[in-house]
Amino acid sequence: MPEEELHAIRIHLDRILAERGMTLTELAAQVGITVVNLSVLKNGRAKAIRFSTLSRICDVLQCQPGDLITHDLTETP
């Protein structure tokens, strides 16, 4: 298995879920994806995300994509 590709994208799902008082399981049910797939995203291991999934997450969490995903310029891949 190839080594994980390094990147400077950071996912802030934990923080937003805590702010909303919501669990990953609740979000997964409302978005319509598995907890496992949502966990992969939350932990920064996702290689991609469909815009339709990102849109549903933003709808449920009432946030913008930029609230969930940032590019950390201090990290060098």
DSSP 8-state assignment for residue 9 = E
- pLDDT for the residue numbered 4: 59
Between 63 and 7, name the one with better pLDDT: 63
What CA–CA distances, in Å, run from 57 to 4, 45, 64?
25, 17, 9
Residue at 22: amino acid letter: M
The answer to whether 68 and 14 are in contact (CB under 8 A) is no
- pLDDT for the residue numbered 1: 38
Q: What is the pLDDT of residues 9-51, one digit of tens each?
A: 999 999 999 999 999 999 999 999 999 999 999 998 999 999 9
Does residue 58 carry a pLDDT above 90?
A: yes
Angstrom distance (rounded) from CA 46 to CA 48: 6
pTM, entire model: 0.85
DSSP 8-state assignment for residue 71 = E
